[in-house]
Amino acid sequence: MNKLLGIIVFLVVLYGALLLSDPSAGSYRNHFNVGQRIGLYGVLTLAAALVIVTGNIDLSMGSVVGLCATITGLMLMSPEWRIGSGAYSLTLAVPDPTVRLALAIPTVLLLGMLIGLIHGLLVTYLRVQAFIVTLCGMFVYRGLARWATNDQNTGLSSAFPEEKKWLLDGILGVPTHMVILLVLLAAAGVFLHVSVFGRYFYALGSNERAARFSGISVNFYKILAFVLCSTLTAFYAILWTFTYNSVQPSGAGSMDELYAIAGAVLGGFSLRGGDGTILGVLIGACIIHILPNMTAMWGVSNTLEPVVIGLALLVGATVDELLRRRRGTKKA
Amino acid sequence: MTPGDQPLLEARGISKSFPGVQALADVGASVLPGEILAVVGENGAGKSTLMKILAGVQRPDGGTILWEGKPVELNAVKDAERLGIVLIHQELNLAADLDVAANVFLGREPTWGGPLKLIDSRIYADASALTARLGLTCSPRTRVGDLPVGQQQLVEIARALSLESRLLILDEPTSSLTERETDLLFGVLAGLKSDGISIVYISHRLKEIERIADRVVVLRDGKNAGGLARAEIHHEAIVRLMVGRELKQFFQRHRTDGGADKPPVIQVRDVRWSPRQKAGITFALRPGEIVGMSGLIGAGRTELAETLFGVRPRTTGSIEIDGQIRNIRRPSDAIAAGVFLVPEDRRVEGLILSDSVKRNISLPILGMLSRLGLVSGRREKAKAQEMSDKMRVRTPSVNQEVGLLSGGNQQKVVLGKWLARSPRLLILDEPTRGIDVGAKSEIYSLMDQLAGQGVAILMITSDLEEALGMSDRVLVLHESQLAGDVPRSGLSEEAIMQLATGGGAA
């Protein structure tokens, strides 16, 4: 809780600095825009947090976004789905866009689930480090996205106007993305902080050996963490596609995993595992996306945005380590 | 000590505390030149802490250290080494892949070639001279990892001599040595002593102390419990000072023979975990029995426990619980069968140190404390409080971080984790290692109580007194084989050691 207090103070100071920067910073429009960004990117921060809490990491998230967004675009835009090639191909006519949407969403979510399952199986049964597995995944999924489209952009252009309107106009003045994020965070909060599963996630991240000696099926929960992460990533990819409308296979989602991991770490999720709270996910995501808005409003060049985020993360991690060391010397 | 002698090293009023435990309180000790001083005490009495302070590994909270009568500050290992104090840890600090000479001079290699820092080959001649003095005949170019443990220890001593050590502190040096290696080591120590080198010798093996110590200092619960001069050193006198009461009172064991005709709780047949084992292990435990398991380090005791609990894959054999074959492949299978393990290293395997007492106790029983997958905070707290009270865990509250509790209280939390369910077989791997005397006796009486309720207990222990005091019989392992099953009537330290060292039945 102490740890959260620190970042809450940081967030408040940051918000104050934002309001002071420029009269337009306090406007409803700016709040709506920032809220939308936080709502969207917060989903990926949550995905990262679920893996980090078990002491693992997923570097492939950005590429999974690229692949899933590409496939979402392809499935939604072509009235004929062709699977396979040449004599072995199967062609499916799906003329109705609503039917396409109803089929595309579960398909993409399933793809995410499958990717997470593969990561989990490799990490548990073959004992390959999560860093390596997902680093390889990062290359593979990005390549698949580019190959599937011949490196051509896909997108929704003017299709699905109703859905886009619902997503982009907000609900009762609140950005729809933010509403979606809050619903997800509430569910994740129950999962992580109240359910037995969540307890096992933390146990696994804190001390895998002790968890195993307590009779917990360590492998199952590790796989579950990767599956949840990649499924949420696929969901984020769908939101992303509807938000930005156009998908560039080589660029979509690129680096997003790093912003997500940075947000989770700022929010109190230690990369050692076993630490962090759902409230922290929200605060971390807020900091990561208010920070660039604040500096932009102060007139700092947006090319410096990564510098600001990098330094904020560095300061956060250093303060965390110093606090840990102070507690550590008391213990040793 | 005669009044005129100036001690080489004297510690006065040393105190040191860690959160939740006063490790040392106003402890004093002194060593004369050319003397072998034995420091004894139960696990957790503060011996290791005192030695670490004398060797500059840890700093005391209070007290003074005098070297040849002058106060000194030992803030780092280097400070102690400069004076000539060298601590040789129980777990040897050697680079197994380097050769003998490289280990002896590690970090202090004489070099030539200026900035190229090429190692001077005279280290081989120098190392040879040192090892010869210790009766170690191997070539200085031998890889240390290829030497038997006893000789590795001599390499450490050679390293200490190369530092021109005047005070050598040996922490449990014989714990993994064979009898012959121990004899050799004692010869070396006698030689060093006659060269005027002082030795502080820490051991649990009272027979060794009777053999070599000039003087004994006994620590108990972080305080001086007394000292013995050469003529007074014998087993009973040391034990009396160590435990502060008679041994018989200490081990509370109400033996009944009620279980003798009952069918076994567990029947282990031909169990193996490694292809190198020549034969499998077969034994049975009856309800209400406490069976000790002895053996030297590396005899396969922990491996056997882990195999029975499903942590380690079993390669052959079968396990029957209450007459039913149980295919135990993972800990949850063992737990379902009523087999629980209190692991050897409670800090790594038994507990999540950064978590609270409550969350540690509830971890294996969350299923019982939840509905529809959601943990009931109220029931969790109540259960944790109940178990914590039952185990008499001394903690301000069940929300206290377990890592801040003393070793004894940590161990009680591990027991509480399992006793919230009803065990059929409880495997305790070194249940009292590193915990204070008070907690120890509480754990013993708890074991006795559980046995009275018909629980079978397999107690792995390196502490022979504990094995003799608590067990109804003792199984002895040697090189991953069952070397003997000693009944109550035949139990003695000698009988166990004979079997444990591969000597066959006494």
Q: Taking the mean position of all CA atoms in its chain, how far away is CA A263?
A: 9
Q: Does the distance separating the beta carbons of B343 and A195 come in below 8 Å?
A: no
Q: To probe the interface with A, which of B366, B411, B419, B428 has the most A CB atoms within 10 Å? A: B366
For position B470, which CATH number holds?
3.40.50.300
Check: CB of residue B405 under 8 Å from CB of residue B414: no
Give the whole-angstrom CA distance, residue B204 versus residue B332: 36
Q: In Å, how far are B263, B455, B477, B478, B483 from B282, measured between CA atoms?
A: 16, 20, 12, 14, 11
User: Quick one: average pLDDT of A43-65?
Assistant: 98
Chain A residues within 8 A of B19 when measuring between CB atoms: 330-331
Contacts of A54 (CB under 8 A, 6+ apart): A201, A204, A205, A221, A222, A225, A273
| Percent of the residues in chain A that have a pLDDT greater than 90, as a whole number | 72
According to the model, what pLDDT value does residue A48 have? Answer: 98
Q: In Å, how far are B300, B315, B369 from B276, measured between CA atoms?
A: 12, 11, 43
| pLDDT tens by residue, B105-120 | 888 888 888 887 888 8
Q: Taking the mean position of all CA atoms in its chain, how far away is CA A33?
A: 18
User: Which residue type, as a one-letter code, is found at position B160?
Assistant: A
Judged against a pLDDT cut of 50, whether residue B373 lies above it is answered with yes
Would you call A158 helix, strand, or coil by DSSP? coil
Which positions in chain B have a beta carbon within 8 angstroms of at least one beta carbon in chain A? 18-19, 309, 311, 330-332, 334-335, 341, 343, 348-355, 359, 363-364, 366-367, 370, 373-375, 403-404, 417
Comparing B505 with B408, the larger pLDDT belongs to B408
Residues B154 and B274 in one domain: no
Closest-CA distance, A213 to chain B, in angstroms, reads: 6
According to the model, what pLDDT value does residue A332 have? Answer: 33
According to the model, what pLDDT value does residue A232 have? Answer: 98
**pLDDT band of A331, cuts 50, 70, 90:** very low
Domain limit, last residue, from B194, B219, B247:
B247
According to the model, what pLDDT value does residue A180 have? Answer: 98
Choose among A102, A123, A108: nearest CA to A65.
A108
B399 inside domain: no
Q: Using CA atoms in the order A60, A66, A69, A70, what is the torsion angle rounded to 10 degrees? A: -130
Domain limit, last residue, from B208, B225, B247:
B247
Q: In Å, how far are A141, B5, B7, B190, B230 from B1, measured between CA atoms?
A: 78, 7, 9, 19, 10
| pLDDT tens by residue, A308-322 | 889 988 887 787 778
Residues B233 and B258 in one domain: no
| pLDDT tens by residue, A241-263 | 999 999 999 999 999 999 999 99
According to the model, what pLDDT value does residue B257 have? Answer: 63
Residues B52 and B155 in one domain: yes
According to the model, what pLDDT value does residue B164 have? Answer: 86
Chain A residues within 8 A of B404 when measuring between CB atoms: 331
According to the model, what pLDDT value does residue A327 have? Answer: 62
Range of the domain at B461: 250-338+422-500
Q: How many CB atoms lie within 10 A of CB B277?
A: 17
Q: Write down the ipTM of this complex.
A: 0.87
B228 phi/psi in degrees, rounded to 5: -130, 135
According to the model, what pLDDT value does residue B1 have? Answer: 45
Chain A residues within 8 A of B373 when measuring between CB atoms: 195-197
Comparing B265 with A305, the larger pLDDT belongs to B265
* Count of positions (residues) in chain A: 332
Burial-class residue A220 by CB neighbours within 10 Å (0-12, 13-18, 19+).
middle
**pLDDT band of A330, cuts 50, 70, 90:** very low
Chain A residues within 8 A of B334 when measuring between CB atoms: 215
Q: Which of A48-62, B235-249, B308-322 has the lowest mean pLDDT?
A: B235-249
B149 inside domain: yes
| pLDDT tens by residue, B459-500 | 999 888 888 889 999 999 988 899 999 998 888 877 887 888
- Residue from the list A190, A196, A209 with its beta carbon closest to the beta carbon of B349: A209
B24 inside domain: yes
Give the whole-angstrom CA distance, residue B219 versus residue B44: 9
Would you call B445 helix, strand, or coil by DSSP? helix
Residues B134 and B265 in one domain: no
B377 inside domain: no
Residues B33 and B65 in one domain: yes
Q: Does the distance separating the beta carbons of B350 and A196 come in below 8 Å?
A: no
Q: To probe the interface with B, which of A214, A275, A330 has the most B CB atoms within 10 Å? A: A214
B275 inside domain: yes
> Taking CA atoms, what residue in A is nearest to B305?
A213
Check: CB of residue B321 under 8 Å from CB of residue B266: yes
Residues B30 and B121 in one domain: yes
Burial-class residue B363 by CB neighbours within 10 Å (0-12, 13-18, 19+).
buried
Give the whole-angstrom CA distance, residue B467 versus residue B486: 11
According to the model, what pLDDT value does residue A320 have? Answer: 73
Judged against a pLDDT cut of 60, whether residue B360 lies above it is answered with yes
Domain limit, last residue, from B210, B227, B247:
B247
B98 phi/psi in degrees, rounded to 5: -95, 160
Q: Quick one: angle between helices A28-52 and A176-193, nearest 10?
A: 30
**pLDDT band of A112, cuts 50, 70, 90:** very high
Give the whole-angstrom CA distance, residue B356 versus residue B360: 6
Residues B260 and B240 in one domain: no
Let me know the angle formed at the C-alpha of A64 by A59 and A66, rounded to the nearest 5 degrees. 120
Closest-CA distance, A275 to chain B, in angstroms, reads: 10
Residues B199 and B260 in one domain: no
Helices (H), chain A: 2-21, 28-52, 61-77, 97-124, 130-149, 161-169, 176-193, 196-206, 208-213, 218-244, 256-266, 278-297, 305-331
Residue ranges per structural domain of chain A: 26-324
Chain A residues within 8 A of B309 when measuring between CB atoms: 213
According to the model, what pLDDT value does residue B9 have? Answer: 94
Count Cβ–Cβ pairs < 8 Å, chain A vs chain B. 72
Judged against a pLDDT cut of 70, whether residue A329 lies above it is answered with no
DSSP letter assigned to residue B146: G
Give the whole-angstrom CA distance, residue A119 versus residue A113: 10
Q: Does the distance separating the beta carbons of A199 and B366 come in below 8 Å?
A: yes
Q: Does the distance separating the beta carbons of B331 and A212 come in below 8 Å?
A: yes
According to the model, what pLDDT value does residue A287 have? Answer: 94
Would you call A9 helix, strand, or coil by DSSP? helix
Judged against a pLDDT cut of 80, whether residue A114 lies above it is answered with yes
According to the model, what pLDDT value does residue B506 have? Answer: 44
Q: Does the distance separating the beta carbons of B367 and A199 come in below 8 Å?
A: no
Q: To probe the interface with B, which of A1, A206, A213 has the most B CB atoms within 10 Å? A: A213
Q: How many CB atoms lie within 10 A of CB B394?
A: 15
- Residue from the list A195, A215, A274 with its beta carbon closest to the beta carbon of B335: A215
Comparing B255 with A68, the larger pLDDT belongs to A68
Residue in the structure block whose two tokens are 């005490």: B41
Check: CB of residue B425 under 8 Å from CB of residue B328: no
**pLDDT band of B179, cuts 50, 70, 90:** confident
Residue in the structure block whose two tokens are 């166990």: B496
**pLDDT band of B246, cuts 50, 70, 90:** low
**pLDDT band of B44, cuts 50, 70, 90:** low
Judged against a pLDDT cut of 70, whether residue B20 lies above it is answered with no
Comparing B204 with B52, the larger pLDDT belongs to B52
Residues B41 and B86 in one domain: yes
According to the model, what pLDDT value does residue B242 have? Answer: 77
Residues B144 and B27 in one domain: yes
| pLDDT tens by residue, A118-145 | 999 999 999 999 999 999 999 999 999 9
Judged against a pLDDT cut of 80, whether residue A86 lies above it is answered with no
Choose among B423, B422, B425, B415: nearest CA to B286.
B425
| pLDDT tens by residue, B57-71 | 999 999 999 999 999
Helices (H), B391-431: 407-419
Tell me the average pLDDT of chain B. 88
N-term to C-term CA, chain A: 22
Number of domains observed in the structure of chain B: 2
Judged against a pLDDT cut of 70, whether residue A154 lies above it is answered with yes
Q: Are strands B374-375 and B62-67 parallel, antiparallel or unpaired?
A: unpaired
- Residue from the list A194, A202, A330 with its beta carbon closest to the beta carbon of B374: A194
Radius of gyration of chain A (CA): 21
Residues B123 and B31 in one domain: yes
Q: Does the distance separating the beta carbons of B335 and A213 come in below 8 Å?
A: no
Chain B residues within 8 A of A207 when measuring between CB atoms: 348, 351-353
According to the model, what pLDDT value does residue A290 have? Answer: 93
Q: In Å, how far are B134, B136, B159 from B126, measured between CA atoms?
A: 13, 13, 11
Closest-CA distance, A276 to chain B, in angstroms, reads: 13
Judged against a pLDDT cut of 70, whether residue B259 lies above it is answered with no
Q: Which of A51-60, A221-230, B257-266, B353-362 has the lowest mean pLDDT?
A: B257-266
**pLDDT band of B299, cuts 50, 70, 90:** confident
Q: Does the distance separating the beta carbons of B348 and A207 come in below 8 Å?
A: yes
Residues B287 and B213 in one domain: no
According to the model, what pLDDT value does residue B288 have? Answer: 92
Closest-CA distance, B344 to chain A, in angstroms, reads: 11
Choose among B161, B211, B215, B217: nearest CA to B33.
B215
